[in-house]
Structures are given as C-alpha cells and as structure tokens.
Amino acid sequence: MGGKEDPTANGSPKSESMAGKKASPPDLLSSISLKSLKLKTKQQELLLRVSILGLVYVLAFIARLFSVLRYESMIHEFDPYFNYRTTLFLTEKGFYEFWNWFDSESWYPLGRIIGGTLYPGLMVTAALIYWTLRFLRFFVHIREVCVLTAPFFASNTTLVAYFFGKEIWDTGAGLVAAALIAICPGYISRSVAGSYDNEAVAIFALLLTFYLFVKAVKTGSLSWALASAFGYFYMVSAWGGYVFIINLIPLYVLVLLITARYSLRLYVAYNCMYILGMLLAMQIRFVGFQHVQSGEHMGAMGVFLLMQVFYFLDWVKHQLNDTKLFQTFLRITVTSAILVGGIALGVGTASGYISPWTGRFYSLLDPTYAKDHIPIIASVSEHQPTAWSSFMFDYHILLFLFPAGLYFCFKRLSDATIFIVMYGLTSLYFAGVMVRLILVATPAVCLISAIAVSATVKNLTSLLRTKQKVPQTGSTKGAGSSKSSSKVTLDQSQPFQKNGAIALLVGVFYLLSRYAIHCTWVTSEAYSSPSIVLAARGAHGNRIIFDDYREAYYWLRQNTPTDAKVMSWWDYGYQITAMGNRTVIVDNNTWNNTHIATVGRAMSSYEDEAYDIMRSLDVNYVLVVFGGVTGYSSDDINKFLWMVRIGGGVYPVIKEPDYLVNGEFRVDKGASPKMLNCLMYKLCYYRFGELVTEYGKPTGYDRARGVEIGNKDIKLEHLEEAYTTSNWIVRIYRVKPPTNRL
C-alpha cells in the first residue's frame, strides 16, 4: 500500500513538465482544463504533496488497526496494562493524586511509589486526548483512547519523517520517508492499536527532537533550539530511551567540531537545547538529578564545556592578531581543559557524585556484559541480540536500499546528512545488540532508504525527461528541486539510457511493491496479536481463540478476597493488578532484584521450603502459566531456568546444575529429581498425569515440549488447586493456612 504512494511522490516534477509545455498547441486541451482549475505549477505540487501526505497519514493509522479487527479493542501484552491502569487512575483522580500515588497493590510488602518511578508522558498524553475529546462532547471510554494512542502517534511520526526528509534531502525524499515509515514493520511492531506502551509516543518524540535539533543547527535560530529542548523534554517524560538522544546529539556536535564545522549556529543550537533540555528533564521525578550526576549523561556535559572552550578560543583569536601567540595559547588551554575535565570526572566518580553506568546501558557498549552479570536483563526476550532474519523481517527491502542511501549521503555531505548517517549507524549497531532497539533504528533506516529511493528515481526520471525534450533543456534546469541531479545527466542523451532507466524504474517499483506487500502481511499476521488472547489454527484451518488469561484474571477479581496476595512470576504482575485487581508480590517493573529472586527461589524449591517463603510474604494464591495442554511455548516451565538463575543469583542455595541433566533441561522421566519435585513443576503438572492431550499419546503428554512428563503422581501438601482455566493455560492455587497446632 505504501509502495503505491511512492510513484506519486515523484509525480510533482512530471506535472511541472506538463505545465512547462502549456504553450505548445497539442497540449491545448490539458492546458484549458488546468486553466479552469486555476492552479499554478507550485500550487499543483503543493496539492499533490499535501494529498499524498494526507493519504500516508491515514494509511499509517489504518495499517495498525488489524489487531482491533482481528481480535477486539483491547490493551496488549504486559507493560501496557500498567500504563492503562495508571492512565485510568489519572483520569479518575486527577494529576496530583497520580503524581503522589503510592501503590500498595504491587511489590507487596514493599509497595511502589508510582509517581516517582515512571515516565508519565504517555499517560498524560492519553489523558489529555481523553479530556479534549470529552470537552468536544465525544464521550469515549478511556480504554479506546489508550488503544488508539499508538496509531495516532505513528501517523504523526510520518509527518515528522516528511519534514525531516525534506530537511536532509528534498521534498521527494520526505514523502518517500513518510510512506516508508508509515508501514515499516520495525515500527509497527511497537505501535499497533492496543500496544499502549511508552515507545508508541517516544518514537514520535525522538524523531521530533532530532528534526528540531537539525533544523536548529541549520538555521542557528533560538526558537528552533527551544523547540528541540521541548521535544527533548517530551521524550524524557515518555521513555527511558532518551539516553540515546542525550548521547547521540553531543556525539554529533563533537563530530562537527572535529570536522571543522563549528559555527555560531551550532553553538546556539546545542547550548540552548542542552541547558533548557536538562532543566526541563530534571522536572521528571524519575530522572531528577540523574541528569547531572549519572555517567550516561556526562558526555553531554563534557561537550557542552568543550563548546564553551571553542567559543572562548574563537574570541581570543579574534582579539589576538599574533598567530604564534595564539598557537601557544591554544595548546595551553586545550591541555588544561582536558586535564580539568578528567580530574573532575575522576573525583566525581570516586566521591560518588557521578554514578556509574546502569546495567542496560553498559550492556549496549559491552554486549557480553549482561549475559554474564545481569540475568534479569539477559532473561528478557526482547533484550536478545538480533539475528539477520529479524532485520530482514522488520526492514525488508530497506536493507538493500540503505547502503545506497549512505552513498548518496556521503556524496552530498552537509550538517544534516552527517547527522542522519550517525543516527543510522549508531542505532543500527544498538539494534544488533538488542532486538527491541530495532525500533529506534527504524526512522533512520527509513530516512536513509528514502534518500536512496528518491535520488534514484529522480535521477532516472530526469533522464527520461531530458530525452524527451532535448531542445528545451533550459526549462528543466529551472525545475525546482531536481536541479542538482538533472545537471549531471543532461549532457548524456544516448538512446539506450531511456530503456535502461525504464527498466531500473520498474525494478525499483517492483521492490517497493514487494515491501508494501511484506509490511501489510507481517503487520496482520505477526504483529497484531495481543498476546493476552492467543490464537491458533485448528486441524481444519479454523481459528481457535484461547482467552484463558482474562478468564483467570476475572476469576481472581470475582472469587478472591480483595486483600488477597497473588504470587506469580514477574511477567504477569502488571496484568494481575490491572485486570484481577489483586495485590502482587513482583511485577514487570523489575526494580527490586532481591524480591524477584525470592519468588524465583520459592518457585524452584521443594514445596515445604517454598511454603515458608510464601508464608513470610503473606501469599494467598499462586498463579502459574502452563502450556502443556495447548502447546503454548512461552509458559512458566520454559521460563523456569531463568527463575532458577535469577533466584540463584541472590540465594546461592539454588544451583542451576541441580535442575539439569548433563546440561540439558528436561521434564520427562530423565529429569533431575530436584526438577521433578520443585514447586513450579508440581503446580504446572498437578493432575496433568491423568490427562490425555493428544490422540495416540500416553497420558501426561506435554505438547509444548513434546514429551511425556516424568512425575505423574503429584501430591500437594500445603497448596490446593483453586482454579484452572478451560485450556489449562493459567492455573491458580490457594495456599492453605498453617495446620492447627493444638
């Protein structure tokens, strides 16, 4: 769909050429109709551009509605449930209540200060949209607003991409970039309707900040710099990924300084953006003084100081006429500046004023770090390194266009293209380290690929057109945006070129149409699943829906005491609090590793040991997710080794080898005795030994792992089964009170 927009992106020069021929008699008819419309060439172009952008805007929105059509209007995955819950709270209780909210329903018995530990941008945005709609007398439910926030912001991102593309190359590239990013799977994966997560808003904010900053550098105007500072503020309020901005922009400035591109424009843009952005960012409580104290932000401060040195040197050079004197002065200043900076950094780090890098940031720079040291980061599937197929899946044809785009950028180096190249390369490197960061790289990949498409198509079409009107080359030269490229090719008018150009154009459009097909298909099949409702194909190709999660959470809500505490692995914490409205021990905000490790230890201990842990945490119910009946593979048994690792990281009594046989994780008869009798195994496979899951297989055949389980005779002593959902995906157990000691 998006690919079809692209040819029209280059329609503008064509219409110009038509208008250029107005005077000649054969075109009389068309000129009359044009005249009756009373549109000049520029107006036509504008009309085309605006209508294309409008279509792309709508397209970006509707491509993300597959999930609503396929399933229903609901919140997806895990984190969005927390966001939804807090947004609900915000709209009901107001901003100050929200800001000061202490949530006692999660992290029992510790609780969590919500206002101080979240990025409120998303919730505030959704609440503002909601209030605006209410004000305009559209009475929608807050859930619908939340579901559609991501597509709405994706549409806005296409606009920003257009302006950005226009800034770094030309309007054609801008339009192509908008069309590409509208349907790029790398972005859609995080912004379908229902994925109400920080990233949905953050990518818009990220691109906006970058665009405004590039604009500020180009113009040197304070207002653009101010705007980019506010863009940065929005980004900080929305997502922890703002660290990328506050490191990339200084790096970019540094590169400009090194390549002797220092100018007053740069000075104004960076200083204003940094100082104001910093002051604004510190208003977000979760960031606060980290912005001036943590190691991740030190680069920006260093570059800020360096800018002052540059400015100072410029001034001194202006004052001193003696070059020799200036050289000496330069040497002394640079050395002492570096020395002072180094000493300050050393003292700051040693005294604890500057905190060292966080694990996530560190694992980006030294990718093997997390694997060895931080299991809680390494355990998350979206923190895994990226294989080539994931890149192909998310970018498709853009991967082929990217090197060409790089080439064109280097052919026409400017402050803006330097920025986009740096953004593209750094973000792609990070995307290689962590799958989820493909998202951050997507805008850059789309922009650079758009440059490739636009430059190629423009070169080729101008070739075609010069062929047609060799005698009137003069008029083409004046044709607005295609000046530079047509100049190169004007003097070439061999007959062959036309055919070649047509063939190449057809090739490019074929590729783009494949891209459109790929994106649409991937969006509908791979990225629109809410993951809280599972779908599978039956034996006859029919669609089977497993709605066990919601069944279980509503059961909790209806059938347990309101103050019941539910223990589960942290993945389900947000959903239990949001949908089940019950207190949980740990949830997806993994701020307290020890607490999570305690749960991991309970899950991997024998039942009586686990009982003591659960008693100490006042646990009333235990919830496990089990896919043995349905063949659902991301269940707790498959996550179990991570529970062991995280538990063992804090409590050395838990040892991973105890659960393995020859380094292999097994659940069948050959499994280790500790595995066969730990709490998690018992809770998942309780009564499973009586069940026939598949025709022709023995009882207790686990379909997720394809084996017959090893312990079919499970007796529970301290827990009892409370509820098992219709497809056995969620199983809830009640913790019995201690037996009467009389």
Partner 1 sequence: MADHKNLPHHFLLSLSLLSILAVSQPDRTKDLVSLRSSSESGVIRLKNDTVSKFITSVPTPRPYSLIIFFNSIDLNSKTLQELRAEFGFASSSFLANNNNRSDVANKLFFCEIDSSDSEAFHLFAVQSLPAMCLVDPLMENPQDQEVKIDEYDFDGTAESVAEFVERRTNFTVGPINRPPLLSKPQISVIAALLVISTPFLIRKVLKGETFLHDTRVWLYGAVLVYFFSVSGIMHNIIKSVPMFFRDEEDSNKLVFFYEGPGYQLWGEGLSVGFLYNLVGLLLAYVTSALVRVRNVNEQRVVMMLAMAISLLAVKKVVYLDNWKTGYQIQTYWPSSWH
Going from the C-alpha of 161 to that of each of 10, 135, 443, the distances in angstroms are 17, 30, 7
Least Cβ distance, residue 505 to partner 1 (angstroms):
10
Query: Could you give the maximum distance between any two Cα atoms of the chain, in Å?
Result: 111
Q: Which is nearer to partner 1, 82 or 393 (CB)?
A: 393
Q: Which is nearer to partner 1, 316 or 425 (CB)?
A: 425
Least Cβ distance, residue 407 to partner 1 (angstroms):
4
Q: Which is nearer to partner 1, 368 or 699 (CB)?
A: 368
The whole-angstrom distance between residue 290's C-alpha and the CA centroid of its chain comes to: 22
- Which long-range contacts link 592-596 to residues 24+ away (Cβ below 8 Å)? 592/107, 592/110, 593/376, 593/646, 593/649, 593/650, 594/650, 595/107, 595/110, 596/376, 596/570, 596/646
Q: Which is nearer to partner 1, 436 or 565 (CB)?
A: 436
Least Cβ distance, residue 83 to partner 1 (angstroms):
27
CA dist 239 and 617 (Å) reads: 32
Q: Which residues bind partner 1 (CB under 8 A)?
A: 367-368, 371, 384-393, 397, 399-408, 410-411, 413, 421, 424-425, 428-429, 431-433, 452, 455-456, 459-460, 463, 488-489, 492, 494, 496-497, 500, 503-504, 507, 511, 514, 517-518, 520-522, 524-526, 662-663
Per-residue tokens: 379? 């355990």
Least Cβ distance, residue 185 to partner 1 (angstroms):
11
Mapped onto helix, strand or coil, the DSSP state of residue 11 is helix
Q: Which is nearer to partner 1, 47 or 255 (CB)?
A: 255
Least Cβ distance, residue 367 to partner 1 (angstroms):
5
Q: Which is nearer to partner 1, 46 or 504 (CB)?
A: 504
Least Cβ distance, residue 667 to partner 1 (angstroms):
19
Q: Which is nearer to partner 1, 384 or 593 (CB)?
A: 384
**DSSP H helical ranges for 121-196:** 121-135, 142-168, 171-183, 185-188
CA dist 599 and 646 (Å) reads: 9
Least Cβ distance, residue 519 to partner 1 (angstroms):
10
Q: Which is nearer to partner 1, 18 or 425 (CB)?
A: 425
Least Cβ distance, residue 694 to partner 1 (angstroms):
22
CA dist 295 and 618 (Å) reads: 39
Per-residue tokens: 657? 């080898």
Per-residue tokens: 66? 């597959």
Q: Which is nearer to partner 1, 122 or 438 (CB)?
A: 438
CA dist 225 and 188 (Å) reads: 30
DSSP structural state of residue 358 = P
Q: Which is nearer to partner 1, 386 or 575 (CB)?
A: 386
Question: What would you report as the CA-atom Rg of the chain, rounded to the nearest whole angstrom?
Answer: 30
Burial pattern 74-113, b for ≥16 Cβ within 10 A else e, equals bbbbbbbbbbbbbbbbbbeeeeeebeebebebbbbeeebe
Per-residue tokens: 44? 């036509």
Map tokens 């709209």 to a residue.
Answer: 91
Least Cβ distance, residue 404 to partner 1 (angstroms):
4
Least Cβ distance, residue 698 to partner 1 (angstroms):
25
Backbone angles phi, psi at 262, to 5 degrees: -65, 135
| Cβ-based burial of 425 (10 A; exposed 0-12, middle 13-18, buried ≥19) | middle
Map tokens 């009359």 to a residue.
Answer: 32
646, 600 in Cβ contact below 8 A?
yes
Per-residue tokens: 725? 């959902």
CA dist 607 and 622 (Å) reads: 12
Least Cβ distance, residue 281 to partner 1 (angstroms):
29
Q: Which is nearer to partner 1, 118 or 444 (CB)?
A: 444
Least Cβ distance, residue 368 to partner 1 (angstroms):
6
Q: Which is nearer to partner 1, 44 or 189 (CB)?
A: 189
